[in-house]
Amino acid sequence: MDFVETRRAQELRDRAVELAIAGRDSEASAVFAEATTATRSILQMSSRAIALCELATAFHRANRHDEAKALFAEIPQIAQSLWPASSQENVLSELVGALAQAGEFVEAASVAASLKGEGERVKALRSLATALTQAGKFEEAANVIRSITKGSERVRGFLELAVALESCDRPDQASAMFTEATSAARSLKFLSVYSLLEVVKTLEQVNRPKEADAVLTETKAIAYSLGDEVDRENSLNHLAKALTQLGRFSDAVEAARSMRYPSWPEKALSEIVAAQARSGQLSEATALAYSIRVDGYRGEALNHVGAALKLANRDAEASAILAEAEATLKAAWKARAEALPDEFD
């Protein structure tokens, strides 16, 4: 029942906002009244409180600030009645986001500071920082981001802010945020590879190739130097995937071939072949596909090449490659089937 009422409340408040923006105030009032009734009929109190947060945001978007403030004042009282404490914190974290979107930054910060659980506090602070960034309050956003205790989320906050500053033609301030993001990512020990790659991707997106190259060089060095085998293999696998997405295929191949776990290099190489083929680098993709030593992944890679050749109207070459891919995959499946009895001995 709650699902039905929650969905109905969402549809009604969205419609009410549309009517208000269109200047159809009396109709908007009627639909908001329906939305309020539907929201208050949600039986589970935590779900109702979150829906009230969303309704308050809708009132704010419709320039009905008194109604929004009344709901914002009511929600903490509902949260206090919830059990367990995690339910209270979840609702209050949602309230922070709603208050921030309504421009109630001081109150949002106060509620965020009251949260005891790290997960909910981090979520709330990220919501507050995003809203401040959207409002052009860049220094305030930076200060909130600096207070986030979870390093990976602090990195994402700085990157979001850097992109916003770049789009506002504030390159020096954006550079400072990229520097803070990189520093925060660097401090994450074996997890630094993951966050540093997010920095690389974002720098590429805003057309800062030299800075992206510098961070990527550092990221590769960290990945290759990790002493723990599990950390190293996972980092190299993630590095290969990220480099493939960035179109840095030679670097991706190097990372893939540096992995030591059985079949991990071959799987990564097959994914690189697929990306090369999609990007039109058919000669390179074909050569790389044939270099894969595991039959199953070589067959998959050849399939990617054949499909790309077919799309390029190179039908004769496509047919030959696809036939070879099929034969290679059949051989792999047969070898796998023959190995199964031994595995169950």
Confidence of residue 340 (pLDDT cuts 50, 70, 90): confident
Query: Quick one: tokens of 131?
Result: 């809203």
Question: What is the mean pLDDT of the segment spanning 34-59?
Answer: 96
Confidence of residue 2 (pLDDT cuts 50, 70, 90): confident
Confidence of residue 343 (pLDDT cuts 50, 70, 90): low
SS3 assignment, position 114: helix
Does pLDDT of 127 surpass 70?
yes
Does pLDDT of 208 surpass 90?
yes
Q: Any residues with CB less than 8 A from the CB of 318 and at least 6 apart, and which?
A: 306, 307, 309, 310
Instruction: Give dist(CA 55, CA 168) in Å, integer.
Output: 31
Q: What is the DSSP string of 89-112?
A: HHHHHHHHHHHHHTT-HHHHHHHH
Instruction: Give dist(CA 148, CA 125) in Å, integer.
Output: 7
Does pLDDT of 344 surpass 70?
no
What's the pLDDT at 342? 58
Does pLDDT of 81 surpass 60?
yes
**Is 175 buried (19+), middle (13-18) or exposed (0-12) by CB count in 10 A?**
middle
Instruction: Give dist(CA 95, CA 27) in Å, integer.
Output: 27
Question: What is the mean pLDDT of the segment spanning 116-137?
Answer: 97
Query: Quick one: tokens of 75?
Result: 């929600």
Query: Quick one: tokens of 216?
Result: 């990527």
SS3 assignment, position 83: coil
What's the pLDDT at 337? 87
Place of tokens 């920095």: 199
